[in-house]
Structures are given as C-alpha cells and as structure tokens.
Amino acid sequence: MHKSPTSILKSAAVVLALLAAGPAVAQTKVATYAAGKPGTDQYEELSFWVKDGQRGAIYYVRGKERSELPANYLPRTGMANGSSFAIRMADDRLLNIIPSGNALKVASSANDAPITFVWKYEGPVNGVGTFCRECAASPKEAMQLLRTYYLK
C-alpha cells in the first residue's frame, strides 16, 4: 500500500508534534505570598500549591529561622468582604485568608486586624538566582490559582 506524499507529511507532522510535547508531566504550580521583611522575626510566608488540577499542600513559614508548618485547607468562611477560606496549621492555629485585589488579607480571628500578604517573586534578580518553574509568574497568576483552586 503506497501513501501519497501529502499523507506521509501529515503523519510525520503528527509524530513530530507528539515527540515535541514529550511525556505527560504532572502540572504543579505554587502561589506564594509574604508579609514583613525576610530575615526578621516578623517575616511570614504562605505557599498554596496546586498539583494536577487539584488543591495541594499549604505551608506557613515564620521568622528569621523560617520555621515551616504545614496547614490544612478549610472551606469558605463567609467573612465580610466576599469570598474567603481558612487554614488550620499543625500547631492548631487558624488563619482566615481573604483575597483583596492581588494581595491577601490574613487574620487569626474575625476581631484581629488583618495583615496584608503580597505575592512573593521567586526567581532570578538581575540575572542572579534560580528560576522557579512551579512558581506563579505574576501577582495576577498567583491570585488566579487561589481563585480557581481555593475559592471554588
């Protein structure tokens, strides 16, 4: 059975497209937010992971030593100012997470004044540093990850 040149070219194009795509790779992304100055006792960081289209791990980092605690997602809390959710950390503290523009307002109770956490850039600065493939590339992308996987 002979194939026409056009048919052969189409088949080759399909094979090349499949080879270029490579093996299916699990999609992992992280949206990281921080408050305070790194290297100080007041520094805080929250990382919200997404893996294979599902909510993933959540980590809270605090202080100069960057002590890390895993946290568990809790559904919407129904607090004022729109959609929100909460996380419960391994030490049993509860934090309410309220998106505000491209930032997060984080409060330990409804009566506490929230702390503003902003998107944390992970990657090279002026050519120095390591590129983070999983990290959200912008405040907008980070907030979209939260809205899609944590506020649905």
11-61: per-residue pLDDT in tens?
444 444 434 444 444 589 999 999 999 899 999 999 999 999 999 999 999
Cα separation values, 140 from 70, 143, 144, Å: 24, 5, 6
Q: What is the pLDDT of residue 121?
A: 83
pLDDT, position 131: 79
Largest CA distance in the chain: 78
Q: Tokens for 121? A: 């850039």
- pTM of the predicted model over 0.85: no
pLDDT tens digits, 48-76: 999 999 999 999 999 998 989 999 999 86
Give dist(CA 84, CA 87) in Å, integer.
Answer: 10
Q: Which domains does the chain have, with CATH numbers?
A: 28-149 (2.40.128)
Read off the pLDDT of each residue in 96-113 and give the average, rounded to a whole number.
88
Q: Single out the residue of 72, 22, 31, 21 nearest to residue 51, CA to CA.
A: 31
Output the six-digit token pair for 8.
Answer: 């052969």
Give the model's pLDDT for residue 129.
67
- Residue 69: both structure tokens together: 């605690």
